[in-house]
Amino acid sequence: MTANFSFHRRIASCLLAAASLILLPQQGFAKDMMIDTKQGTIRAQILADGLDHPWGLAFLPDGRMLVTEKAGRLRIIDKDGKASQPLKGVPKVVDAGQGGLLDVALDPGFAENSLVYLSYSEPGDGGKAGTAVARGKLGADGLDGVQVIFRQYPKVDGGNHFGSRLVFAPDGKLFVTLGERFQFDPAQDLARHLGKIVRINADGSVPADNPFVGQEGKLPEVWSYGHRNPQGAAIHPETGKLWEAEFGPRGGDELNIPQAGKNYGWPVVSWGKHYDGTDIPDPPTHPEFADAIAHWTPVISPSGITFYTSDAIPGWKGNLLIGGLSSEAIVRLTLDGEKVVAEERIPMGTRIRDVVQGPDGAVYALTDESNGKILRLTASNSRS
């Protein structure tokens, strides 16, 4: 009887354990997760949680992090994961749909000038919104002297496709990736900033060598066009070129190396279909457009991207890491120059909004949840 009872209890506890395993993906995951990958076991630890849909992360020179929350908050997270109160000076944002406080970047001269850049959906008249970029000096409790240095033209209705990553090129120019706000054709119109990557000086002025400077009816900030919703951008550590990842429609997520003045095809061509199933011509039907160097159907939903340059995680050096939303993965691409030669999906069990390499060589990933986390990924045999 006792044996039988304990047997049943054991069965019950096994069932409970099985049930909790099944439930785990919905709950996020345990404090320490071990993930088997092609290059060995990766340990993912929760460094911080309680962040409301964190979107962008930038390391300060002292190893702390600036992290945005989509609802409009910017916080400093210390090395132990403790979050500050929301910093002052953040511009008002429209927190709706995909809009809100989005990316954060440090000025290349941050050590001297303390300047921090934010991208966000800025409110306009009549409920309209558009992506904007502001900068201010990081002081004791927030940003001082905040100025808007760029505004996407025009502001439109709706809460989709704001972009918007911020990356500085080695020459100090700032790239801002801008979605087409779910407006389709304006991505081809050089008189509007929808569906464009723009290149500006750090103070928001236009570099004289931008491709459309001085051309009638074309906005001088535009670097490349025909983009849909680019949420990933990074500078290649060796070539200094901009790489960019964007959401396709139903299928057709893209990785591009955007060149000055080139047209990346949206919405005329795509490797995907419209949401209603209507076909879109494939990119090779329009050889005058530049095509992606990689594309995904079904989609991965690429958000932040980063080139991994450290030896800390064996086998990852030189790879491109992509934070995947619907794929709930970090997508690791092995590159040969500007070709993608291999891909691995590292399953994270939750939507990944951004991936950033830390000064310690660990990979820091933001999870897209109301109880959003900063995950710290290391090789499982590393000492910390």
Scan residues 150-179 and list those touching Ca ion (CB under 5 A).
none
Kindly indicate which of the ranges 101-109, 160-168, 265-273, 326-334 contains the residues binding Ca ion, using the contact rule CB under 5 A: 265-273
* DSSP element (H, E) containing 41: strand 40-51
* Single-letter code of the amino acid located at 242: L
Kindly indicate which of the ranges 50-58, 74-82, 192-200, 259-267 contains the residues binding Ca ion, using the contact rule CB under 5 A: 259-267
Question: Which are the catalytic amino acids?
Answer: 161
Please state the closest distance from residue 189 (CB atom) to Ca ion, in A.
Answer: 16
- The CA dihedral of 80, 84, 89, 92, to the nearest 10 degrees, is 100
Question: What is the distance between the alpha carbons of residues 26 and 349, in angstroms, rounded to a whole number?
Answer: 8
Under DSSP, is residue 263 helix (H, G, I), strand (E, B) or coil? Answer: strand
Size of the site for Ca ion (CB under 5 A): 2
Q: Which residue, 289 or 316, is less far from Ca ion as judged by CB?
A: 289
Question: What is the distance between the alpha carbons of residues 230 and 163, in angstroms, rounded to a whole number?
Answer: 5
Give the residue among 228, 215, 221 at the shortest CA–CA distance from 192: 221
Does 302 engage in binding with Ca ion (CB under 5 A)? Answer: no
Q: Which residue, 28 or 265, is less far from Ca ion as judged by CB?
A: 265
Question: What is the distance between the alpha carbons of residues 66 and 48, in angstroms, rounded to a whole number?
Answer: 13
Widest CA span of the chain, in angstroms?
90
Look-up of token digits 């290649």: 236
Does 267 engage in binding with Ca ion (CB under 5 A)? Answer: no
Kindly indicate which of the ranges 5-13, 130-138, 262-270, 272-280 contains the residues binding Ca ion, using the contact rule CB under 5 A: 262-270
Report phi then psi at 7, rounded to 5: -60, -45
Does 265 engage in binding with Ca ion (CB under 5 A)? Answer: yes
Look-up of token digits 């002025």: 205
Question: What is the distance between the alpha carbons of residues 101 and 188, in angstroms, rounded to a whole number?
Answer: 26
Does 220 engage in binding with Ca ion (CB under 5 A)? Answer: no
Please state the closest distance from residue 197 (CB atom) to Ca ion, in A.
Answer: 12
Kindly indicate which of the ranges 53-61, 142-150, 263-271, 357-365 contains the residues binding Ca ion, using the contact rule CB under 5 A: 263-271
Instruction: Using alpha carbons, list the distances in angstroms from residue 149 to 136, 174, 205, 366.
Output: 10, 11, 8, 26
Report the half-sphere exposure of 216 (CA within 13 A, side-chain side): 0
Please state the closest distance from residue 254 (CB atom) to Ca ion, in A.
Answer: 5
Does 264 engage in binding with Ca ion (CB under 5 A)? Answer: yes
- Residues within the interface to Ca ion (CB under 5 A): 264-265
